[in-house]
Amino acid sequence: MNKDQIEGKIKEVKGKVKEAAGVVLDDKEMQIEGNIQKNIGKVQSGFGDLKEDVKDSL
């Protein structure tokens, strides 16, 4: 695992928590922020996966 994979997973989890809190508190803005943060984490984690694949193929 590399730094991007780890940080991406952390952001993804934080986003899921924020999104769930927004649903519970009926706060649309918090829910949207959480969704965005979750998706950014997924992208960063995917980038880390790609880096690992390239490293492994070399």
pLDDT at 4: 95
Sorting pLDDT into bands at 50, 70 and 90, what band is 45? very high
In SS3 terms, 2-55 reads as: CHHHHHHHHHHHHHHHHHHHHHHCCCHHHHHHHHHHHHHHHHHHHHHHHHHHHH
Mean pLDDT of 23-44: 98
Mean pLDDT of 25-53: 97
Q: What percent of the chain has pLDDT over 90?
A: 95
pLDDT digits (tens, 9 = 90+) for 7-27: 999 999 999 999 999 999 999
Q: Which of 53, 51, 21 is nearest to 38 (CA)?
A: 21
Spatial distance between the Cα atoms of 55 and 16, rounded to a whole number of angstroms: 30
pLDDT at 25: 97
